[in-house]
């Protein structure tokens, strides 16, 4: 009986060794395939139907933006989200709707699009500063800023520290409305350590790009975009996301995002509640965040307004454009 048990133990051990060996071989094979066969310099065309323009930021380096200034009026500034495959293409329907009626600007945030994708530290302050310098140096007058998801946190901070540059904020599916957890301050330091460790693991040069190639493969992009659509993801969005993630340096900013290092702790209390400008939140359901605390904000703060556009999952301007335009224009018309 003991001998039989011993043989079974050996069999389990060899099976485990085989599984581990196969896993290691697969990882090594993928790393080699990524570096040798996947192109990381695909031809990137403009996300919008205008040519991008560059400007030099003091703190964020070279940044690119799109602009239609054929009409006068209060400028609209559109800010795409931050994720593994972000680009100005995300806000394309908004740009197309309002161009020709007011000046419209779309910024490629640092690490994305035609802006610098250098290997540097990406953090909330970098993005906040980039938005501030763009509004100050390029737009040059108070603007109506429209944000998508995580960029709501960065634009919100800019609105707090530089209120003269932002007339109003429209946040589409913003982050930061989850309930504040008990002992949040203590947990914050624990999470910071975990995020640092995760970033250190993901950013190792040997496998940073191969790992990102997995995240930015067509099946992966389509899988995650599908979560943001009630209907079918437009093929052109998947195509552009794939190309923009296959650029030199495309992995650097997303690695910080995937490590959780771009979120502002307790942003609702430390940023959102301090905004004095009119704010409109457009939302419904979002697979990556929730809006549990939003009703309380809308009740407590007179400058905050909310419109729920159903059925959508984070990109209402793609799936319900008519309702979205109505909510946006009604909001702007109501600003004194």
**Domains, the chain, with CATH or none:** 53-181+259-333 (3.40.50.1820)
- Dist CA 319 CA 172 (whole Å): 13
Q: Quickly state the pLDDT bin for 90 (edges 50, 70, 90).
A: very high
For 29-58, what is each residue's pLDDT tens digit? 767 767 787 889 999 999 999 999 999 999
3-class secondary structure, 108: strand
Instruction: Find out whether 111 and 252 touch, Cβ atoms under 8 Å.
Output: yes
For 200-241, what is each residue's pLDDT tens digit? 777 677 768 888 888 899 999 999 999 999 988 999 999 999
3-class secondary structure, 66: strand
Average pLDDT, the chain: 89
pLDDT value for 193: 65
Q: How crowded is residue 311: how many other Cβ atoms within 10 Å of its Cβ?
A: 11
Q: Which tokens in the block code for residue 45?
A: 């065309």
Task: Estimate the crossing angle of helix 151-161 against helix 124-134, to 10 degrees.
Answer: 60
Instruction: Find out whether 181 and 173 touch, Cβ atoms under 8 Å.
Output: no
pLDDT at residue 183 tops 50: no
- Dist CA 48 CA 275 (whole Å): 31
pLDDT top residue among 112 and 192: 112
């Amino acid at each position: 009986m003991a001998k039989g048990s011993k043989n079974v133990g050996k069999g389990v051990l060899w099976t485990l060794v085989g599984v581990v060996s196969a896993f290691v071989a697969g990882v090594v094979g993928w790393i080699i395939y990524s570096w040798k066969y996947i192109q990381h310099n695909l031809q990137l065309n403009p996300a919008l139907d205008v040519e991008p323009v560059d400007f030099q930021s003091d703190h964020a380096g070279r940044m690119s933006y799109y602009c239609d200034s054929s009409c006068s009026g209060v400028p609209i500034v559109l800010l795409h989200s931050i994720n593994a495959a972000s680009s100005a293409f995300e806000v394309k329907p908004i740009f197309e709707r309002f161009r020709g009626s007011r000046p419209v600007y779309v910024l490629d945030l640092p690490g994305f699009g035609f802006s610098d994708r250098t290997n540097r530290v990406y953090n909330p302050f970098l993005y906040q500063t980039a938005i501030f310098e763009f509004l100050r140096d390029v737009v040059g007058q108070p603007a109506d800023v429209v944000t998508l998801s995580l960029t709501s946190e960065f634009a919100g901070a800019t609105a707090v520290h530089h209120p003269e540059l932002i007339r109003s904020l429209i946040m589409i599916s913003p982050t930061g409305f989850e309930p504040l957890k008990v002992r949040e301050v203590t947990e914050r330091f624990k999470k910071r350590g975990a995020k640092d460790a995760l970033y250190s693991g993901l950013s190792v040069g040997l496998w940073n790009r191969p790992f990102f190639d997995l995240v930015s493969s067509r099946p992966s992009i389509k899988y995650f975009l599908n979560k943001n659509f009630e209907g079918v993801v437009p093929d052109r969005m998947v195509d552009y996301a794939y190309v923009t993630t296959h650029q030199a340096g495309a992995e650097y900013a997303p690695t910080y995002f995937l490590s959780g290092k771009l979120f502002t702790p307790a942003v609702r209390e430390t940023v959102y509640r301090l905004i004095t400008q009119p704010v409109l939140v457009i939302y419904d359901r979002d697979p990556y965040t929730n809006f549990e605390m939003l009703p309380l904000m809308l009740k407590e703060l007179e400058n905050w307004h909310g419109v729920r556009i159903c059925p959508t999952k984070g990109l209402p301007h793609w799936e319900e454009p008519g309702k979205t335009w109505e909510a946006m224009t009604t909001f702007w018309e109501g600003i004194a």
